[in-house]
Structure 1
Amino acid sequence: MSGERLKEAALPLFAEQGYEGTALSEIAKAVGIKTPSIYAHFASKEALFLEIYRDVIKHELTVLGTIKDQVYPTVDEALRAFFYQVTDFNANPAMKRFFQRAIFFPPQSLATQMREEMTTYEAMTSEMLGSLLLQKMDETRKKKWVHVFYCLLDGLSLEHEIYDAKEFETRRETAWEALASLI
């Protein structure tokens, strides 16, 4: 039994049921061990949750970095690829759902620490976006564009849960068109 296997089992449970709704016994059962064995790998449920949260952030930054580093014919196309990647809620759905839940409904005992780490994640994402945007606009306009980007991302993350796939794609394209008009 490894800590990685525990995290793989815990991720979809936390994604679907949230932190409070997931018992360590469910995670243990999913990997075929007794609950106390989890403590050989993680000091607590909080520690397990936080490590998964950090893994998800690291994964997202890696994927976004790959997009940023690709060569696109135009800056606009690079920004579009970036936007569509972060709003692709069907790629790694358990990971995306976990991330949404963790951001919007963090465990009370971890809320401050998770917000601090989210601020760091957002700063790193903004830096990636900023390096592209500076080719097109000044610092003030760049900051405003990034603010709108995050508002649209947050809205689309909710709309993905509400609307069917066709309606969501229509809304996603409309959001991109509005954002692109600000470039």
Structure 2
Amino acid sequence: MELSPSAQRIRAIAVEHFAEHGYEGASLNLIATAAGMKKASLYFHFANKDQLFLTALEHALATETEHATHTFEAEAATLPGLDYLTAIGARYDEHASLRFLLRAAYAPPAALRDTVAQGHGQFLEHIGETLRARLPQPNASRTNTLVEAYLGAVDSLHVEVLFGNDEHLDRRRTALWSVLTGFWEAGN
């Protein structure tokens, strides 16, 4: 859906606001005020809170999918994926799109749970397929296992960045990457 410049501004503010307050704590009044308009004007662009949330989610998913794709494309390692895992903490701190996406994925609004889960699942699937495309393919079964384990690592680090701290994030990333590389190297 093509958004007007005003709707794009509202969406950007909504991503930040939902990232900070979640769905339940979000205020359309505050979003409208931050966008320099009255709440009634916000309804000209978005029918309700659900529509604004889903539009913000779609944008966050697109932004984070693009980030993952570029991170993998720029990596030159034999076993790709470390750069994405390493960037998770800083990305979370610096980009509301990841904060919003993770908050929505791990604490979705009940009425939108299925839609959020589907979008988050497609995001993770994209990461897995991007990794798979970058791996040498000598053993399909081993590749499949590595991709699934890698997605488990991504999921674990997403939870850690959301609920934990930087020290735990670094320790978990190091341990997970060590296991993943050991598994891969043992089979090649």
TM-score (norm. length: structure 2): 0.83
In the superposition, relative to structure 1, how do residues 45 and 57 fare at CA in structure 2: closer, same or farther (>3 Å)?
same
Aligned AA (1:53): L
Query: Gapped runs of 5+ residues in structure 1?
Result: none
Shift of 1:56: 1.1
In the superposition, relative to structure 1, how do residues 179 and 63 fare at CA in structure 2: closer, same or farther (>3 Å)?
same
Aligned AA (1:41): H
1:53 to 57, 66, 79: 57
Report if aligned partners of 1:64, 1:85 keep a CA contact under 8 Å in 2: no
**SS of equivalent to 2:97:** helix
In the superposition, relative to structure 1, how do residues 71 and 120 fare at CA in structure 2: closer, same or farther (>3 Å)?
closer
**2:117 matched residue in structure 1:** 115
How much is the aligned-residue C-alpha RMSD, in angstroms? 2.2
- Structure 1 segments (4+ residues) deviating >6 Å: none
Q: Is 1:13 paired with 2:14?
A: no
CA distance in 1, matches of 2:123, 2:162: 23
Identical-residue share of aligned pairs (%) = 26
CA distance in 2, matches of 1:124, 1:162: 24
CA distance in 2, matches of 1:170, 1:119: 26
Report if aligned partners of 1:160, 1:168 keep a CA contact under 8 Å in 2: yes
**SS of equivalent to 2:183:** coil
CA distance in 2, matches of 1:113, 1:37: 26
Shift of 1:108: 1.7
Q: Is 1:2 paired with 2:6?
A: yes
Query: Gapped runs of 5+ residues in structure 2?
Result: none
Deviations 1:58-84 (A, max 9, x none): 111211222232361x322x3222332
Aligned AA (1:116): Q
Report if aligned partners of 2:32, 2:42 keep a CA contact under 8 Å in 1: yes
